[in-house]
Amino acid sequence: MDFYKALREVIKKEVIPHHDGIIEGGIGNNFARYDYFRGMGYEKWYIGINLEKPNLLVREGLIYREGNCFDVKLLTSILDEYQLKSSIFITNAALADCLLLDGVNIENVVEALTKVFKEQLHLKPAGKFPITISRVNFPEQTDNKEYHKFMRFLEESRKRGWKEKVWRNIILLKKEV
């Protein structure tokens, strides 16, 4: 299935009807996801978090926070401030960027997301390396650094009760309650 067709399906079925807020980790200067979600009809809170301020003017309606998007204190303070009860954490290639940094502890990243969220949506979770259902189900057939870091993230998530649904370059994680 085409990436944007799958993304539209996920947004319509999994995001718009179920979430009172979107927290986008690692938004940087790329507001394309914000524009896309708004264009699909998402009208609730949209909060972007990045380590540094954007070089561009932030879009009207987008709340921008400076900080580490895997900081539990920052995330819970945002959820409390906006009274979000059913938010979703999303990334657009930022997960891959984060996992490739030297010194990043994948277990700590997963633990932070597990403490705060019940759903995650990661677009291009292994960066430019395409993720597919077969690559998730048969990891031994793939040799790529981004892919292996993503699979470690996925394995740690599974240990903490997350279940995945995979489309090409899109992964939706839901925490089993």
What are the tens digits of pLDDT across the range 101-110?
A: 878 899 999 9
Question: pLDDT category, 52, cuts 50, 70, 90?
Answer: confident
Cα–Cα distance for residue pair 119/10, rounded to 1 Å:
12
Mean pLDDT of 78-98: 95
Q: Are 11 and 35 in contact, with CB atoms under 8 Å apart?
A: no
Question: For 112-136, what is the mean pLDDT?
Answer: 92
What is the radius of gyration, based on Cα positions, of the chain? Answer: 15
Q: Is the pLDDT of residue 146 over 80?
A: yes
- In this predicted structure, the answer to whether residue 122 has a pLDDT above a threshold of 90 is yes
Residues 6+ apart with CB under 8 A from 44: 19, 20, 21, 22
53: confidence class by pLDDT, cuts 50, 70, 90:
confident
Taking 80 as the threshold, does the pLDDT of residue 54 lie above it? no
- Tell which residue, 134, 117, 122, has the closest CA to residue 170: 122
Map residue 82 onto helix, strand or coil.
coil
Q: What token pair was written down for 26?
A: 């690692």
Residue 74: alpha-carbon gap to chain centroid: 16
Q: Is the pLDDT of residue 56 over 80?
A: no
Query: What kind and span of H or E run contains 166?
Result: strand 162-167
Residue ranges and CATH numbers for the domains of the chain are 3-175 (3.40.50.150)
Mean pLDDT of 152-165: 96
Determine the pLDDT at residue 79: 97
